[in-house]
Structure 1
Amino acid sequence: MGRDTTGEFVQRIVADAARSLYAVPLADFVASRKALAASAKTEVAAELGAKEGTAAAKEILALRKPTVTAWAMNLASREDRGVIADLVGLGARMRAAQARLDASVLTSVRGERDATITAYVERVAEVATAAGAALSASGRDEVRATAIAALADESASDAVASGQLTRALSYSGFGEVDLSGAVGLTSSGSIMSVLPGGRSDAEPESPESSPEAEVDEDELTEEELAAAVAAAKAAKAEAKAAQKARQAAEQELAGAEAEMAQAQADLEAAEDAARAARKAVIAAQKRLDSARSQVAASKRP
């Protein structure tokens, strides 16, 4: 085991198995998973004991079979590290620029972004076709969505670079990319491994290696600061307008509730008056009937 701890040894065995598993043809995935689990169980059991060997095998057996699109992207990650490096590197630069609100860099890389995404989609489609599984139009859309997610989120970038995707990724436009069930993970929840050349270790890039860093400072320019202040003021004005609208709505609601209460009271009063009127009519009818009876009786001989 060398200097590996027990946990490190098991995770290394599982990660090696995952790396091998996600490189096999899709049709061989299930059989390969069983074989790798059995091999890992034997190796770990011999080193640490049967319990640990069984646990390692279960971890490997839990690795999900990729979709056709995910399999194609994993294949591209292994066959063309250049296109992956371009995607990962561009994503690192874009996220670094976004973090320091560097609008000039984000604007300048739009063309590069489009070209990088297109190159990635085309390369994935090429390797899939060469492997006998041409991507459909929807498959290409999934590859494009995954590339966009990788540019936006570091964890998504690592997932794509790992070559162990189980499904396509997507980015909603804010927040983190949902990686649940999307990539092979260790029992601790981290990505099994990232293929050589696929790490975004330069995020953010050092001043010596980043062309933009030679001319752009982390501090905002006066124009950018003014734009940020204007945006903040606009957001504040929108918040105030929303608050006023809410207050007006609350007042309108309160007025409607008061009117409803008054109408209910008026209705109850009208119902009480109607009941009283009915009682008066009944009493008057009784008196009328009594008077008629008396008149009739007085006319008898």
Structure 2
Amino acid sequence: MSGEVEDAVDEAVEDAVDEAVAAAAAALYAVPQTEFIPTRKALAATAKSSAGPAAAKAVLALRKPTLTAWAMNLVPRAGDGSLADVLGLGARMRAAQSTLDTATLTSVRGERDATLTAYVEAVATAAEAEGVELSPAAREEVRASAIAALADETAARALASGQLTRSLHYSGFGEVDLSGAVGVTSSGSIISVLRGGARSSRVPAEPAEAERESAASEDANEDDDELTEEELAAAVAEARAAKAAAKARRLAQAELEAAQAGMSEAQAGLRAAEDAARRARQAVIAAQKRLDSARAAVAGPGR
């Protein structure tokens, strides 16, 4: 029973932190870049009140998106059909590749180019609506991200999450490197929250050295709240300590309730024994009275 309580406590603590971070990320990555830092502070305060200090630190650890990533994050929220076309085409291409269906892969080349072009234009148009013009280099990063989504299912889910922190790249083989590409949870994992609340697979969130340097350079002068690796490790340790404390409290409560239940049973048994003893005494007294009456009757009058 203790093991079940322990597992339930662990799951409840983890869910509370993850849900708070996921809710904060969904709101945070929807705001303009200029509002990212103050919004993150406000959301961290909300997370602290709902799920504790560990959740607040995890929210503060959510990475600020690059300009390209911010622009791509606009498209999933706008419901633009170009993103759906990328996702659909990618699923078909991966299925064809898995079965070595070269005829299908050859036939979609024209569709692939048109789909990529339409997606890049959709991202550029969404950015322009927010007063930002994408440079040719940024457009190339958008195209590269879409190519990565065509090749890799997890990358496609990241592109659709609306929570990218950087662009994606596909080397031509293997899986797409998603390290540092989506928001970071208190456990040090990236989490992609898709529309409708679906959650992607988690992968290690240690960013590449160049990506760390780029992010540090971008936020050096405007973001004093970005957590260092040591602070993020401390947040993880704090989350684990909170989990252990919650577990200890729940186990102690379960043991107390069990002891109270045992005491109640013992008290009920004691009361039953006292009632039985009282009835026994009353029976003895009644029997003694009957015996005395019988002796008096045998002795007769005057004796």
Give the counterpart letter for 1:21 in structure 2. L
Q: Give TM-score, length-normalised by structure 2.
A: 0.59
Deviations 1:105-138 (A, max 9, x none): 1111111111111110000000101101110010
Compared with structure 1, are the counterparts of its residues 118 and 196 closer, same or farther at alpha carbon in structure 2 (3 Å cutoff)? Answer: farther
Distance across 2 between alignment mates of 1:124 and 1:8: 33
Q: Tell me the equivalent position of 2:159.
A: 160
Distance across 1 between alignment mates of 2:61 and 2:183: 9
Compared with structure 1, are the counterparts of its residues 23 and 168 closer, same or farther at alpha carbon in structure 2 (3 Å cutoff)? Answer: same
Deviations 1:113-172 (A, max 9, x none): 111111100000001011011100101010000000010011111110110111111111
Distance across 2 between alignment mates of 1:57 and 1:7: 14
Q: Tell me the equivalent position of 2:279.
A: none
**How do 1:227-238 and structure 2 match up within 5 A?**
none
Give the counterpart letter for 2:46 in structure 1. S
- Match of 2:21, SS? helix
CA RMSD, aligned part only?
1.9
Give the counterpart letter for 1:67 in structure 2. T
CA shift, 1:35, in A, is: 0.5
Higher relative contact order (CA 8 A, sep 6+): 2
Q: Tell me the equivalent position of 2:115.
A: 116
Say how many residue pairs are matched: 189
CA shift, 1:194, in A, is: 1.1
Q: Tell me the equivalent position of 1:63.
A: 62
Q: Contact 2:182–2:190 at 8 Å: present in 1 too?
A: no
Do residues 19 (structure 1) and 26 (structure 2) align? yes
CA shift, 1:185, in A, is: 3.6
**How do 1:132-151 and structure 2 match up within 5 A?**
132-151=131-150
Which stretches of structure 1, 4 residues or more, deviate above 6 A after TM superposition? 197-200
Compared with structure 1, are the counterparts of its residues 199 and 154 closer, same or farther at alpha carbon in structure 2 (3 Å cutoff)? Answer: farther
Give the counterpart letter for 2:101 in structure 1. D
- Alignment counterpart, residue 36 of structure 2, candidates 29, 38, 44: 29
Identity, % of aligned pairs? 63
Q: Tell me the equivalent position of 1:176.
A: 175
CA shift, 1:18, in A, is: 0.1
Q: Tell me the equivalent position of 1:131.
A: 130
CA shift, 1:192, in A, is: 3.4
Q: Which runs of 5+ in 2 are unaligned?
A: 1-10, 201-303
Distance across 2 between alignment mates of 1:6 and 1:199: 18
Q: Tell me the equivalent position of 1:222.
A: none
Q: Contact 1:185–1:192 at 8 Å: present in 2 too?
A: no
Give the counterpart letter for 1:189 in structure 2. S
Distance across 2 between alignment mates of 1:36 and 1:122: 32
Q: Which runs of 5+ in 1 are unaligned?
A: 45-52, 201-301
Distance across 2 between alignment mates of 1:54 and 1:199: 23
Distance across 2 between alignment mates of 1:59 and 1:183: 13
Q: Give TM-score, length-normalised by structure 1.
A: 0.60
Q: Tell me the equivalent position of 2:17.
A: 10
- Alignment counterpart, residue 48 of structure 2, candidates 37, 41, 46: 41
Distance across 2 between alignment mates of 1:104 and 1:120: 25
